Amino acid sequence: MPVSVPNGNDPIAVIADDPRHSVSGFTTEFIRELHNRQGVSLRDASLHDKFQATASAVRHYMVDEWLETKDKNAAAKQKTVGYLSAEYLLGPQLDNALLATDLTEIVEESLAQHGIDLAQVREQEVEPGLGNGGLGRLAACFIDSLATMDVPCIGYGIRYEYGIFRQTFVDGHQVEEADKWLALESPWEFVHPENAVQVNFAGHTETWTDETGRERTRWVPGWGVQGLPYNYLVPGYGTRRVNTLRLWGARANNQFDLKTFNQGDYVEAVRAQTFAENISKVLYPEDSTPQGKELRLQQQYFFVACSLRDFIENELEPGFDLHRLGERIIFQLNDTHPVIAVPELMRILIDEKGFEWDEAWEVTKSCFAYTCHTLLPEALEVWPTELLGRLLPRHMQIINLINVSFMAEVRATFPGDEERALRMSIVTEHPVQSVRMAHLATVAGSKVNGVAALHSQLLRDKVLPDFSALWPEKFTNVTNGVTPRRFVRQSNPGLSALVTSRIGGGWVKHLDQFDGLEPLADDAGFREEFRAVKAANKERLREVLHKRDGIDLPEGHLLDVMVKRLHEYKRQTLKLLHVVSLYEQVLSGKRKVEDLTPRTVVFGAKAAPGYRLAKDIIHLINSVAAVVNRDPRLEGRLGIAFPANYNVTLAEKLIPAADLSEQISLAGMEASGTGNMKFALNGALTIGTDDGANVEIRGLVGDDNFFLFGMDEPAAAALREQGYRPRSIYESDETLRATIDLIESGIFSGGRGGAFGSVTSALLDEDRFMAFADFASYLEAQEAVEAKYADQEAWTRSAILNVARTGYFSSDRSMRDYLDRIWHAGPVV
């Protein structure tokens, strides 16, 4: 490799003098991998062998840079971002690696020369689904951006053996299957068993007196496991930097508990091993509503303990003065999941390194910052002190001590305000004595941020108001972003080529350059090309859905897409009520079928396996689809497609094909959303509420290019305050009543009335997220959609303006905001 290239900013220069960077060069690497890694000849290789060999050959092209990056980091001694996240929803890796190494055409040609189709090889990849949804995908976008921006970063997380479950439908019901993503092994990881880290649990603490006569505490653990680091390469785009994603897998300490084994209980001995290895076995599938399960706390502590140990012992030079730790690392807490890292760092500094409490606290505060990703009270994690104290007795002590001095500070600042002190306490007594992890994170973090402007404001005003009164300067906003590499350049090659033909290719790294497209919205020729790209993307999607799901998308329809986790607050039911109301209007003759805008509504959504109502909603969607899609009276003008197992791989095909993006959560509920950004960047128009980042999207694209509906957050709060009665809306709104009545009639359940009673009564009796209140407004906005879609020139103009004006939502911009306002770190080249 041309390590001699002094400045790695020009990938073309780097590549030009690499002899391997040619068709014959790649062929050599590929054949070598087939032989040496897969142990097969080209003649006998299966498609899977070919994928493994392709992937590992492509990885060759990144390894030198990766090693070089490590050396560069060690020499520079600059601050590293330690992104602590329980989830990384990476998506398939091959295309991303091909893009970063600029090998796509070369590999395509090299494989073609041997009769291999890259497209088929690509399909072999099983995506690592190590996340639930937005939070995990955001982490993946962020590490991509940091590498691209030359910033030293280690992503730390868990190598779940089973990622997010595979969703299938049986009679319209969701059925979960284990996600065996490692069954055929991942070609992307480097495991280093020799760098295993010991992690302990349980036991008790005791005090002792050190040589200086100082009273110290030590933790005598009850049991432990080892964390094995699995390194993934995170290549930057257009730079030589390749950062690291380090995921930890649990392994038993001793392969066998020999004592038990010698006593003859072989099975018991092996069982202990299984117990330890369970820690990294499976991703919890709850999105937004965590279950307070002991295994989950084990997972959280497991990965942060490994990560802190790893950074301190392996990433810093020997003898580094830990009093200055905050100059070299900033650990970003991705939601509350890694917050147990706070007492862990305190424990390391005090118990192991002999720091005084105050010194340790100063260092700790400088090393953490906290991102909150939610507004739902039930999503804020709390751990019963009984559980925490049993699993991590020393950490429980430290949390209590942090709380004692924090309470003293609160009481000194607000004398006599005992209620406030109780509200703010890290440890709460109700309903059972528990630790509020968001409070701990806020107390310890140097900064606390929300993920969109509205969310950060609500975080200050409603979720943590007492904290923002105490420390106003601690709170800030960083609006989320998405990586333009994966979500435009890779997933939408047609649009990428079109855009590049007009404004050059700089946008891939500088997405604000999309603003250069603005004048082209008025260029009829460009609009035609833009429409052709959308049409081709729809065609590609038709092929994918046909092959993947046996779904035949009709041609020429408005593609109306709602893809995200199934949750009541996101209001998939509102979308469904719209479809049912259209159907009802046709059945009852209120609307002529030829007046319907031909439209297919695409849903993609997984429900947490224990979330009953969400699963009932999935069943209802599938049941409505089964009837509507077959009713000849609709003349094929209205349909629902609900492909199972929505994931990153499908998103990359679906988003570029969409016309309309559904972002319809109740205002004040969706922290940000990131799908909303991906759709806008790919030229879909949004129908949405004033929620999360929708607010900023609308602000940028303008009211003429966005379909706003529904109550805003203050209106929703006021209505709730006033006493919300969904049934009275049902009674007064004729369209809504006819829609609900049609569902209750049994038409979607083979004549059995009341089959979807759980869904309809949740709406009629409670409607926690006020779908009824926004129903009329939503239908009106959908009429505006139809009117605009009828004028294809106007629609395309708006779509182009969406692309041109949303460059702000690059995760590179998010990273710049974090670097400037929170991390105070920068690039190392």
Footprint on this chain of ligand NTF (rule: CB under 6 A): 133-135, 138, 287-288, 335, 373-374, 379, 451, 480, 670-674, 692
**Residue 373 annotated as catalytic:** yes
**Residue 48 annotated as catalytic:** no
- Strands 368-371, 329-334: pairing kind: parallel
Single out the residue of 483, 482, 485, 459 nearest to residue 471, CA to CA. 459
Cα dist. 204→222, 292, 391, 396 in Å? 7, 22, 9, 11
SS3 362: helix
- Return the residue matching tokens 């933790």: 219
List all residues 6 or more positions away from 650 whose beta carbon is below 8 Å from its beta carbon. 544, 548, 604, 643
Quick one: tokens of 700? 């940028």
List all residues 6 or more positions away from 143 whose beta carbon is below 8 Å from its beta carbon. 83, 88, 153, 155, 234, 243, 245
Cβ(192)–Cβ(231) below 8 Å: yes
Question: Which candidate in 159, 241, 337, 373 is catalytic?
Answer: 373
> Please, which residue, 50 or 373, has the CB nearer to ligand NTF?
373
- Return the residue matching tokens 């955001």: 138
> Please, which residue, 440 or 451, has the CB nearer to ligand NTF?
451
> Please, which residue, 134 or 155, has the CB nearer to ligand NTF?
134
- Distance, in Å, from the CA atom of 563 to the CA atom of 647, rounded to the nearest integer, reads 9
Q: Least Å distance between CB 408 and ligand NTF? A: 31
Question: Which candidate in 564, 637, 698, 788 is catalytic?
Answer: 564
- Return the residue matching tokens 């709460």: 428
> Please, which residue, 196 or 822, has the CB nearer to ligand NTF?
822
> Please, which residue, 322 or 671, has the CB nearer to ligand NTF?
671
| Amino acid at residue number 511 | L
SS3 380: coil
Question: Which candidate in 565, 575, 599, 606 is catalytic?
Answer: 565
> Please, which residue, 140 or 701, has the CB nearer to ligand NTF?
140
Q: What sign has the CA pseudo-torsion 789, 791, 796, 798?
A: negative
Question: Which candidate in 241, 570, 571, 805 is catalytic?
Answer: 570
Q: Least Å distance between CB 627 and ligand NTF? A: 32
**Residue 678 annotated as catalytic:** yes
Question: Which candidate in 337, 678, 698, 813 is catalytic?
Answer: 678
Q: Least Å distance between CB 381 and ligand NTF? A: 9
> Please, which residue, 283 or 346, has the CB nearer to ligand NTF?
283
List all residues 6 or more positions away from 14 whose beta carbon is below 8 Å from its beta carbon. 2, 5, 8, 240
- Distance, in Å, from the CA atom of 605 to the CA atom of 402, rounded to the nearest integer, reads 41
CA 786 to chain centre: 32
> Please, which residue, 72 or 698, has the CB nearer to ligand NTF?
698
Angle at 441 between CA 437 and CA 444, to 5 degrees: 135
DSSP string computed for 296-324: HHHHHHHHHHHHHHHIIIIISPTT--GGG
Cβ(485)–Cβ(825) below 8 Å: no
**Residue 21 annotated as catalytic:** no
Q: Least Å distance between CB 822 and ligand NTF? A: 15
- Distance, in Å, from the CA atom of 31 to the CA atom of 114, rounded to the nearest integer, reads 10
Q: Least Å distance between CB 620 and ligand NTF? A: 23
Element (H, E) at 275: helix 266-277
Cβ(95)–Cβ(127) below 8 Å: no
* Residues forming a β-bridge with 232: 189, 245
| 3-state secondary structure labels for all residues of 353-391 | CCCCHHHHHHHHHHHEEEECCCCCHHHCCEEEHHHHHHH
Residue 348 region by backbone torsions, left for phi larger than 0, else alpha for psi between -120 and 50, else beta: alpha
Cβ(786)–Cβ(707) below 8 Å: no
Cα dist. 307→84, 360, 706 in Å? 8, 18, 43
> Please, which residue, 92 or 692, has the CB nearer to ligand NTF?
692
**Residue 564 annotated as catalytic:** yes
- Distance, in Å, from the CA atom of 631 to the CA atom of 301, rounded to the nearest integer, reads 54
Angle at 803 between CA 797 and CA 808, to 5 degrees: 140
Secondary structure of the chain: what % helix, strand, coil (to 5)?
55, 15, 30
Cα dist. 189→73, 230, 435 in Å? 21, 6, 36
- Return the residue matching tokens 């590179």: 812
- Distance, in Å, from the CA atom of 761 to the CA atom of 743, rounded to the nearest integer, reads 11
Single out the residue of 597, 814, 636, 647 nearest to residue 129, CA to CA. 647
> Please, which residue, 449 or 802, has the CB nearer to ligand NTF?
449
Q: Least Å distance between CB 669 and ligand NTF? A: 8
Active-site amino acid positions: 373, 564-565, 570, 674, 678
